[in-house]
Homo-oligomer: A and B are copies of this chain.
Amino acid sequence: MYEVYFRHLAKKMPLTADDQALIQRFLSVKKIRKKQYLLQEGDVCKVIAFVEKGALRSYTVDGEGKEHILQFALEGWFIADLYSFLTGEESSYNIEAIDDSELVLINQSAYKELLQRSPCYQTYMLDLITGAYIALQKRLNATVSLSPEERYQDLIALYPDIVQRVPQHMIASYMGLTPETLSRIRRRIAEN
């Protein structure tokens, strides 16, 4: 159940069997089916989810009822509303399974305690969140300095599996475009 998770963790740092045993006691596993919610707007985000298998997305709904996808999470990624998770405030995000998925979860109290108890886990989280922060900065930078064409090509190059496994209108939303516009961009790319 925890294979992908600990492989991921071990890739970032040396991990003793003791470390692993300690950490594992604070985790739990959850299966979630396509279109089910892990978090709904208005609820408090109770867990950080690591994706063992499957795919999820987080999104918000704006004033006009339109969805805006903020993040995809495939195998080896994590997803949560960290703000809500850490403060206990209501979330304004939704997190939903795109496919049937298997998750490794950690809840708020376990997270706080595990950070205290396991230097190893703390190092891992610092690493993980730093990586997520850097990725987000890159994305923001791409958004302002590249054309939609270029951004789509980058997306294909960087995350080919996302483009394979996620419906096109979701990718459009993720990129801040309408489905029509993304369709036309794809045609333009194909023509050249």
- Please measure, in the bound complex, the distance between the C-alpha atom of A79 and the C-alpha atom of B85, giving whole angstroms: 25
Interface of chain A: mostly helix, strand, loop or mixed: helix
- Chain B CB count within 10 A is highest, among A86, A132, A134, for A134
Give the size category of A's interface with B. Answer: 20 to 34
Output the nearest chain B residue to A92 by Cβ-Cβ distance. Answer: B141
Are A145 and B62 in touch, CB under 8 angstroms?
yes
Q: Taking the full assembly, how many copies of this chain does it contain? A: 2
Contact of A126 among B63, B129, B140 (CB under 8 A): B129
Q: A126-B122, A136-B136 are in contact. Are A144 and B86 (CB under 8 A)?
A: no
Are A137 and B136 in touch, CB under 8 angstroms?
yes
Q: Which residues of A contact B (CB under 8 A)?
A: 60, 62-63, 66, 68, 70, 82-83, 86, 115, 119, 122-123, 125-126, 129-130, 132-134, 136-141, 143-146, 176
